Amino acid sequence: MIASDILDRCSAVLGDPSRVRWTASDLLSYLTDAMRQTVLIRPDANAVVATVQLTAANTRQAIPSDAVRFLSLVRNMGAGGLVPGSPITPTTREAMDAASAAWHVDTASSVIDHYLYNQDTPSVFYVYPKPATGTYVEMEYARDVGELTSVGDTLPLAGIWAEPLREYVMYRAYSRNVSSVSDKQTAANHLRQFYLALGEESRAKALFNPYQPTFAAPSGG
């Protein structure tokens, strides 16, 4: 799937196939934002599995520079990251603290047993024991998307995400005319459909309340 697969249809619906009002540059920016929002809400949309080297002598680790969300550690990958090894299991900080108050300072090892992750601190995760120099693991994480520069650019997201991407681009396009009540409503409808397509019904409902009271309740007396 390339950018034009999404943007050609959006331009047609907008009645601007020549991209005069909404330029290719505008739409490419909207589509980049659409992919990033999709990955933030649905990390599986751009999930990857990669071998990474851990920072030595520290239980606290940073996610890779191209990651937006940590998902899990899978297994040890041996010397040079080339030899699959034992699995790495998830645990909690409470469990580790209860098991050993010294788990952050225990002897370093080239084999990792556990990992810990808190969604409130999404850029870091912890491992036990602390890694020795040259320790590699297999990691699952959601990868960020780069800026689109051409309608011929290949999208990192698969075709199954085309619908939410189109809805978000349309939301951004109609949001451009802030003075138009109808455009604002159309934009909100597209954003709602974006959330629905991603399975985020609660967010969609917050954007649209079909109940509008037409009269005031009588006062008591």
Domain residue spans in the chain? 3-43+145-207, 46-143
Give tens-digit pLDDT for 113-137: 999 999 999 999 999 999 999 999 9
pLDDT in tens, 177-215: 878 899 999 999 999 999 999 998 777 777 765 444 444
Q: What is the dihedral of CA 122, 127, 132, 137, to 10 degrees?
A: -70
- Is a pLDDT exceeding 60 seen at residue 218? no
pLDDT at 39 over 70: yes
> What mean pLDDT do residues 3-23 have?
97
- Which of these, 18, 19, 35, 20, lies nearest to 162 by C-alpha position? 35
**Is the pLDDT at 170 greater than 90, yes or no?**
yes
pTM: 0.86
Structure-token pair, residue 37: 């929002």
Predicted local confidence at residue 211, as pLDDT: 47
Nearest to 64 by CA among 125, 117, 113: 125
CB 67 within 8 A of CB 131: no
Residue 206: in which H helix or E strand, if any?
A: helix 201-207
**Mean pLDDT score, 160-185:** 94
User: 49 pLDDT exceeds 50?
Assistant: yes
Q: Give the separation between CA 173 and CA 217, rounded to whole angstroms.
A: 39
For residue 221, what pLDDT band results from cuts at 50, 70 and 90?
very low
User: Tokens standing for 189?
Assistant: 């409808």
Nearest to 157 by CA among 22, 14, 5, 26: 5
Determine the pLDDT at residue 208.
62
Write the DSSP string, 86-113.
-B-EE--HHHHHHH-TTTTTSPPBSS--
Q: What is the pLDDT of residue 209?
A: 53
